Amino acid sequence: MIEVKDLHKQYGDIVALDKISLSVGKGELFGLIGPDGAGKTSLMRILMSLLLPNGGKATMSGLDVVADYKKIRLITGYMPGRFSLYPDLTVEENLKFFATVFGTTIEENYYLIKDIYQQIEPFKTRRAGKLSGGMKQKLALSCALIHKPEILILDEPTTGVDAVSRKEFWEMLKRLNNMGITILVSTPYMDEASLCDRIALIQQGSLMSVATPKEMTGSFPEDLWAVRTRKIYDTSKFLEKLPSVISVNSFGQVLHLVTQKGRHTSGSVQKFLSDQGELEISVTPMEATIEDVFILLMNHHNHRQ
Amino acid sequence: MITSEPVITVKNMVKKFGNFVANDNLNFEVYKGEIFGFIGANGAGKTTAIRILCGLSTPTSGVMKVAGYDIYRQTEKIKQNIGYMSQKFSLYEDLTIYENIRFYGGIYGMNMAERKARTAEMLERLELTEYENRKIGDLPLGWKQKLAFSIAILHNPKIVFLDEPTGGVDPITRRQFWNLIYEAVEKGITVFVTTHYMDEAEYCDRVSIMADGKIVALDTPQKLKEQYNASNMDEVFLKIAR
Amino acid sequence: MNRFLAFLQKEFHHIFRDPRTLVILFGIPIAQLLLFGFVLTNEVRNVKIGVVDHSKDYLSIRMTQRLLSSGFFQLAATPSSESEYEGLFRSGKVKEIIVFEPDFGRRIMKEGKAGIQLIADASEPNAAQLIVNYTTAIANGFVKDEFGQNQKLPGVDIKVRMLFNEDMRDAYNFIPGLIAVILMLISAMMTAITITREKETGTMEILLASPLKPIQIILGKVVPYMILSIVNALVVLLLGYFVFEVPVVGSLALLLGEILLFIFLALSLGILISTFVDNQVTALAMSGFVLMLPSILLSGFIFPVKNMPVPLQILSNVIPPRWFIEINRTVMLKGGGLGAIWPNTLILLGMSVLFIFISIRKFKIRLQ
């Protein structure tokens, strides 16, 4: 559905996209995971035919993003990064406006947005600027869906949104996905990655890895340990001196320790710490999260540079 | 480092906008040297409360003291004793790193020698010394946020308020940012922070959770997890907010 | 078409929901008009005049009586030679001297035309113009009353000489100029701002990603302001007519046509600016410095073009209001027809086409 080949984008000297290639299948819920400035927005804007690439090629549903931009705009729904509705128009007026712009009516495709729109319908005479963050998000999604697009492109729809609204939003995406809409969504929140069919980890304009979340966490190439301690800061300082350590990162009240494959057992780590005088500590092997993968790849990436 | 000496006291804080009650009778204390997490859904009233505590907005009613000063009458004193970093990036994009530091140092009345010494120290800590003449606008977000935080505590405030400082920052830089927070705490600065990352809530000494203008829970992350029978703060938050 | 109507509706929602826009749209023009108008207006009452009657016939004496009985004028001197004029003015004894040419009455009857010269003290330009206007009006009224029943109305050829300040501005000349400035403000500035606002709120990104064509977006943004600009022009004309008694001597249809052309020009200029800038503040500054200041200073609105230094005179040629103010003055005050203003009309038309052409070339269907 979305094919990207050697896509390159540069702003002056700054490389936003470094010859990336990517393929999203029909009906997939594809996540683009990476921090701000990684190149997510540039990629999406090129796909939406809003930016011209400096090199490479991209097609959406077989349509070239440069040559066929008019057709692309009819079959895609787009939700840009920042809130982009008219704050001085009411909820209903916004929706109606976008329906008309795309040559349709609210009624025609109401079934598609029903679940989402119903939640904000009680406030339909309220100005969009006065909605809470979660409600704005729902309205923006309704507006992007109103013309029944084949492909939905969402640029960081959950940034700055609280954890509850984020969960709800992802549930809505899943339902839309089940209706057959191909979805490309970007997010800086690593924990949202597991909700996608496939994900790409993007950092500094390059794709570090593309796979299903399971494949990605399952093929973690090093050993990963969950270290529970009372003194996170002190313990992490000690662990940085552990032989064949790769990284120590805190995840809430737990330290994630990455060591080279096969060099340690939970016993050997525990012994190292108790030798340093750290006693009340538990070390257990754990399965990697997307964030662990991201950090590991990012470290590799930085080392190569 | 945590003491029982309160640096922020809030009693019956109410803030109304017309009929809308943004802060509905808030009561809490923040102790000197702690990291106080302020969590809540969008529109729960966090930003409103922070603005009031920073002296940027007047409450409708209630008794509040920040750094020992009265929120109604001594806002100027308060402003000298706090640092503030908003979720919107607050440095001047068209000035260089050095110029930004010099400007903020000047605002807080630091003299030339002091400013120079602190600037050098800060740039070295952030490993930015060689970039001091780069424009802020050309820096990656993570660098900007770390720099903005360092500048917010440049004048050694008693309390620093951080409003979603790590949104959109990559996972490594996010952790580096928290290391900066810990270092500030070591120096005796009290940290008041909001975040949407629930793992970050666990880095706080105490967390308050807001919903619909009220504080619905306030305790250490450990106690909250026990109380709500949850394995992490994410679950706690979902159980409370749903 | 449906899309376009939806766009218009949205645009009017924006305008009517933002009190600030409304104030700029209607408050500022009216305030400017009243402010300038009243500041510039002086009351005319018992103005001291001198009369030199080289004719001393029935008509010249009757006209003098009419002038003096109007309550506006008071006879203060009857100088016998021209050399006395300056002294009278300098000492402040008179503000105006009226000179009837010899054989005034006879020439009016026989040739249907006779001359009066009005000499005024223009060191107070507004007052002087006002005095001259009153005198002219009374003289014309007198002729009308005397010969009203005749089919062919004889004309009084009134020659005005302003002493001490030959080129002068006043409320009369002011209204035509103000129309130009206000239209420039509303049409160009508001268009530039409204388009850049969409860029700033990010909605332009969505509009660009929609099947709307650039021309639809532009027209949708511009048509509402076109309508409002026309309303504004009419308001200024009406206020000018009723409050300041500035008539439209020439063809009203022609005047409205020219106003429409100028609105079109201003709008295209606004669009052009919006293609260069990305935020409202810059758009405002651009409109302010690039449009407003030259419109006021270089257009002949306040300072006469021919009194400017040559470089500024040359520069004033590219300032659209310069040409439009000339048109307005010609049509409104002098009653000139298209014959007198076609070069100006052509220049405005040319400028509009140029601006629109550049705008459409520059309007991006993409970001950056």
Residue of B189, B139, B187, B138 lying closest to B162 (CA atoms): B189
Is C152 in the same domain as C194? no
pLDDT at A46: 92
Question: Do residues B46 and B40 touch, judged by C-beta distance below 8 A?
Answer: yes
Domain membership flag for residue B65? no
| Chain A residues near residue C366 by CB distance under 8 angstroms | 49-52, 69
Is C345 in the same domain as C220? yes
Question: Do residues A188 and A197 touch, judged by C-beta distance below 8 A?
Answer: no
Name the phi and psi angles at C148, rounded to 5: -55, -35
Question: Hey, what are C328's tokens?
Answer: 């307005």
pLDDT at C168: 43
Chains A vs B: touching, with 3+ CB pairs under 8 Å? Answer: yes
Domain membership flag for residue C333? yes
Cα atoms in the 13 Å half-sphere on the side-chain side of A42: 25
CATH number of the domain to which B209 belongs: 3.40.50.300
Task: Find the mean pLDDT for residues A270-297.
Answer: 88
CATH number of the domain to which A175 belongs: 3.40.50.300
Highest average pLDDT, of A158-162, A265-269, B114-118, comes from A265-269
In the predicted model, residues of chain C with pLDDT beneath 70 are: 1, 36-45, 122-126, 148-173, 307, 365-368
Domain membership flag for residue C55? yes
Highest average pLDDT, of B35-39, B150-154, C280-284, C357-361, comes from B35-39
- Name the residue among B42, B140, B172 with its Cβ closest to that of A133: B42
pLDDT at A43: 94
Q: How many distinct structural domains can be found in chain C?
A: 2
User: Cβ–Cβ contacts within 10 Å for residue C87, how many?
Assistant: 12
Is C316 in the same domain as C222? yes
Residue of B201, B194, B205 lying closest to B47 (CA atoms): B194
Chain A interface test: which of B47, B186, B196, B239 (most A C-beta within 10 Å): B196
Tens-place pLDDT, residues A71-80: 888 899 999 8
CB of B167 within 8 Å of any CB in chain A? yes
Cβ distance of C209 and A88 shorter than 8 Å: no
Distance, in angstroms, between B226 CA and closest chain A CA?
A: 14
pLDDT at B2 over 70: no
Domain membership flag for residue A301? no
Task: Find the mean pLDDT for residues A174-202.
Answer: 91
Q: Which of A158, A189, A216 is the last residue of a domain?
A: A216
Is A207 in the same domain as A227? no
Tens-place pLDDT, residues C336-347: 788 888 899 999
Residue A286 in 3-state DSSP? coil
CA C243 to chain centre: 15
| Chain B residues near residue A160 by CB distance under 8 angstroms | 42, 87, 164, 167, 196
- Name the residue among A36, A165, A252 with its Cβ closest to that of B199: A252
- Name the residue among C210, C365, C367 with its Cβ closest to that of A45: C367
User: Could you tell me which residues come within 8 angstroms of residue C280 by beta carbon, excluding any fewer than 6 positions away?
Assistant: C193, C196, C197, C200
Q: Which of C148, C163, C178 is the last residue of a domain?
A: C163
Is C29 in the same domain as C53? no
Distance, in angstroms, between B164 CA and closest chain A CA?
A: 8
CA B95 to chain centre: 24
Is A200 in the same domain as A261? no
CA angle (B138, B140, B141) in 5-degree steps: 120
Amino acid code (one letter) for C363 = F
Separation of alpha carbons A278 and A271, rounded Å: 9
* CA trace torsion C237, C238, C240, C246 (10° rounding): 90
Domain membership flag for residue A138? yes
Is C146 in the same domain as C183? no
Is A205 in the same domain as A256? no
Is A37 in the same domain as A124? yes
Separation of alpha carbons A221 and A218, rounded Å: 9
Domain membership flag for residue B207? yes
Is A78 in the same domain as A139? yes
Residue of A181, A217, A174, A216 lying closest to A196 (CA atoms): A174
- Could you list the residue range(s) of the whole structural domain that residue C190 is in? 2-39+170-362
Domain membership flag for residue A296? no
pLDDT at C165: 41
Is C222 in the same domain as C200? yes
Nearest CA in chain C to A93: C10
Question: Hey, what are C311's tokens?
Answer: 């470089």
Question: Do residues A146 and A109 touch, judged by C-beta distance below 8 A?
Answer: yes
CATH number of the domain to which C151 belongs: 3.40.1710.10
- Name the residue among B42, B168, B169 with its Cβ closest to that of A165: B42
pLDDT at C164: 46
Is C260 in the same domain as C354? yes
Question: Hey, what are A199's tokens?
Answer: 């994900």
Q: Which of C131, C163, C195 is the last residue of a domain?
A: C163
Is A63 in the same domain as A11? yes
Is C260 in the same domain as C185? yes
CB of A284 within 8 Å of any CB in chain B? no
Is A166 in the same domain as A117? yes
User: Could you tell me which residues come within 8 angstroms of residue B112 by beta carbon, excluding any fewer than 6 positions away?
Assistant: none
User: Could you tell me which residues come within 8 angstroms of residue C335 by beta carbon, excluding any fewer than 6 positions away?
Assistant: C249, C250
Q: In what order do the strands lie in the sheet with C96-100?
A: C73-77, C47-53, C96-100, C113-121, C155-163
| Chain A residues near residue C22 by CB distance under 8 angstroms | none
Q: How many distinct structural domains can be found in chain A?
A: 2
Residue B59 or residue C106, greater confidence: B59
Mutual angle of helices B112-125 and B97-107, in 10-degree steps: 130
Chains that touch B (3 or more CB pairs under 8 A): A
Task: Find the mean pLDDT for residues B193-217.
Answer: 89
Question: Do residues C279 and C196 touch, judged by C-beta distance below 8 A?
Answer: yes
Residue A172 or residue C363, greater confidence: A172
Find the helix or strand (DSSP H, E) in which A224 lies: strand A223-228
Cβ distance of A88 and C13 shorter than 8 Å: yes
Separation of alpha carbons C97 and C77, rounded Å: 9
Q: What average pLDDT is seen over chain A?
A: 89
CB of B38 within 8 Å of any CB in chain A? no
pLDDT at B11 over 80: yes
pLDDT at C133: 79
Residue of C127, C134, C177 lying closest to C158 (CA atoms): C134
CB of A295 within 8 Å of any CB in chain B? yes
Is A117 in the same domain as A32? yes
What does each C-alpha distance from A172 to A168, A181, A295, C296 come to in angstroms?
A: 6, 12, 29, 57
| Chain C residues near residue A76 by CB distance under 8 angstroms | 209
ipTM: 0.75
Is A56 in the same domain as A111? yes
Residue A57 or residue C110, greater confidence: A57
Residues C107, C113, C115, C120, CA torsion sign: positive
Q: Where are the beta strands (DSSP E) in chain C?
A: 47-53, 73-77, 96-100, 113-121, 155-163
CA A174 to chain centre: 14
Lowest mean pLDDT among A136-145, B62-71, B123-132: B123-132
- Name the residue among A49, A80, A98 with its Cβ closest to that of C366: A49
Q: Is C308 exposed, middle or buried (0-12, 13-18, 19+ CB in 10 A)?
A: middle
Residues A243, A246, A249, A251, CA torsion sign: negative
pLDDT at C166: 42
Domain membership flag for residue B26? no
Tens-place pLDDT, residues A253-263: 789 999 999 89
Chains that touch C (3 or more CB pairs under 8 A): A
CATH number of the domain to which A243 belongs: 3.30.70.100
Cβ distance of B141 and A35 shorter than 8 Å: yes
pLDDT at A90 over 90: yes
Q: Where are the alpha helices (DSSP H) in A179-285?
A: 213-218, 232-239, 266-275
pLDDT at C151: 44
Q: How many distinct structural domains can be found in chain B?
A: 1
Q: Is A147 exposed, middle or buried (0-12, 13-18, 19+ CB in 10 A)?
A: buried
Task: Find the mean pLDDT for residues B88-100.
Answer: 80
- Could you list the residue range(s) of the whole structural domain that residue B40 is in? 34-56+81-241
Residue of C205, C168, C229 lying closest to C365 (CA atoms): C205
- Could you list the residue range(s) of the whole structural domain that residue A230 is in? 221-286
Separation of alpha carbons C239 and C32, rounded Å: 11
What does each C-alpha distance from A102 to A116, A127, C216 come to in angstroms?
A: 19, 22, 13
A214 falls in which pLDDT band (50, 70, 90)? very high
| Chain B residues near residue A165 by CB distance under 8 angstroms | 41-42
Separation of alpha carbons C327 and C325, rounded Å: 5
B30 falls in which pLDDT band (50, 70, 90)? very high
Q: Which of C163, C178, C213 is the last residue of a domain?
A: C163
Separation of alpha carbons C64 and C25, rounded Å: 47
Chain A interface test: which of B88, B170, B182, B197 (most A C-beta within 10 Å): B170
Separation of alpha carbons A260 and C349, rounded Å: 76
Separation of alpha carbons A155 and A56, rounded Å: 21
